[in-house]
Amino acid sequence: MKALLVVDVQNDFCPGGALAVNEGNLVVEPVNRLVKQFEAESFPVVFTRDWHPANHVSFSPNGGIWPPHCVAGTKGAEFCSTLYFPSVSLLVSKATAFDTEAYSGFQGTGLASYLKEVGVDSVVVAGLATDYCVKNTVLDALTLGFAVEVVSDAVRAVNVNPTDGEEALREMEERGAQLVTSNEIGF
């Protein structure tokens, strides 16, 4: 069975946010379409969120490389208001400990055991950002033995270097992920 993993579609990663991803808001439309398709099939939908304490090690005042973002309980950490939520879904918060960075939705969350428990062997991944949390989530999913499809029109990159997003997609593909578009997802 397939599950949909929606990665970090949060205000701080959208235009105007603390760690804005160019066109980050544009993932919402294809993501919403996919969520509705999975909901109609009664297949699992998982939303991850970056959910940091205010003193997180990844923040520049604490020696990290990012501006403070997605601080638990703030407006910036909320999901984009236009995101559609199905009647049933799983919420996964990550990077919640102040001293640990965690880009992958599988890191320290129990997500893999949950998916295996309910019979998921294949995941469809969309969201933000291509070159960090999407990439690390995809690579972990492959390592854990899941088949992985990455939805190319439903991801966007931070692009600290301008080609980071493209390189991340290539790396995911080389590791065995399939790049697909949102209208190509079958069950």
Q: Which residues are identified as catalytic? A: 8, 94, 133
Residue 178 DSSP code:
E
Instruction: Give the Cα separation of 51 and 94 in Å (integer).
Output: 6
Identified binder of ligand VGL from the candidate list 125, 128, 151, 154, rule CB under 6 A: 128
Does 149 bind Zn ion (CB under 5 A)? Our answer is no
Answer for the pair 99, 57: CB distance below 8 angstroms, yes or no: yes
Task: Give which of ligand VGL, Zn ion, none residue 35 binds (C-beta under 5 to 8 Å, depending on kind).
Answer: none
Does 132 bind ligand VGL (CB under 6 A)? Our answer is yes
Task: Give which of ligand VGL, Zn ion, none residue 149 binds (C-beta under 5 to 8 Å, depending on kind).
Answer: none
Closest contact distance (angstroms) between CB of 128 and ligand VGL is: 5
User: Between the CA of residue 91 and those of 6, 56, 57, 83, 111, what are the distances in Å?
Assistant: 10, 21, 23, 14, 10
Does 8 bind ligand VGL (CB under 6 A)? Our answer is yes
User: Which positions ≥6 away from 65 have C-beta within 8 Å?
Assistant: 58
Residue 72 one-letter amino acid: A
Does 50 bind Zn ion (CB under 5 A)? Our answer is yes
- Compute φ and ψ for 115, nearest 5 degrees: -60, -45
If the CB atoms of residues 43 and 130 are measured against ligand VGL, the closer one turns out to be 130
Residue written as token pair 């990663």: 13
Does 12 bind Zn ion (CB under 5 A)? Our answer is no
Closest contact distance (angstroms) between CB of 13 and Zn ion is: 9
Does 50 bind ligand VGL (CB under 6 A)? Our answer is yes
For Zn ion, the binding residues (CB under 5 A) are 50
